[in-house]
Amino acid sequence: MRKFGIIGVGHVGATVAYTLVCKGIADELILIDNNEGKATAEQLDLQDAQARLDTRTIIKTQDYSELEDTDVLFVTSGNIHALDNVSGNRWAEFEYTREIVKDIAPKIKASGFDGVLIDTMNPCDAITHYLQRETGLSRQQCFGTGTFLDTARMQKVVSDVFDVDPKNVTGYVYGEHGESQFSAWSTVQVNGLDILDLAHEQDLDLSELEDKARHGGWAVHSGKGYTSYAIATCAVKLSEAVLSDAKLTCPCSSYSEKYGTYVGQPSIVGKNGIESVTELPLPDDEEAKFKHSADTIKEKFATL
């Protein structure tokens, strides 16, 4: 029995739920939202779809006690309108999401939940750290989507330039899921070829590509008022890695012993959550950027 929970069924949470149900990933799904009517409506809509699907998902709502035997819990709550007119500043949601954590963390803890928690809230790194602390879950069990999404955006931007499938672009975006993130070009390859060599041969400005990737989310947000598909896809893929014990290597927001904070970095995701962190040897300039980004998160987290 593969059991999932989602706290917050707004744009992202509802998309996660739809994906879990339509792909037949979840045998049982618990939806929780501060708007009970919204949770019920999403439940009914997904139940109406069941007769046309090849799989069946049992869907329940608003019961924290159901989280006790849940395998994976997504926390996708937030206040997307806090980001209106503040392009580039995911910290604008901080005052809202920290209050959400204060509300839901004791309830998660009281439920006896002991699975893996995947956070998508903004600012992702700091809020994931706060969730981990307040729920009492281990740093292994609690992690955030972090730069998994930003890396996908980098892959898309690079694939457009080289006319390749984005899956054939490998490498990582490190740091904050925010403005201080950076593309670690030393790790990036296109069809197995070093992007630094390709950029030199073709006289490409990698800083322009990095900026385009960094602001990709804001391009989506400015057009439809939120982002949903890409982040939900990232969250679901991470959950599948947990359920299948895939030992998937990917960048996400995990705890860095080196820098003392949750931050986007390559990690191994398996049945226990973060199985280990992969510390790649970065050139000095990229390591400095990584430290700067981690310090930025720590400074903001200290305001809690």
Cis preceding linkage at 123, omega within 30: yes
Cα gap 182→301, rounded to integer Å: 20
Question: Is 292 one of the catalytic residues?
Answer: no
Are the beta carbons of 59 and 21 closer than 8 angstroms?
Answer: yes
- The set of residues, in sequence order, having a beta carbon less than 8 Å from that of 226 and lying 6+ positions away, is 10, 11, 12, 80, 220
Binding-site residues for NAD(+) sit at 8-13, 33
Binding-site residues sit at 8-13, 33
Residue tagged active-site, from 81, 129, 177, 215:
177
Q: What residues act catalytically?
A: 177
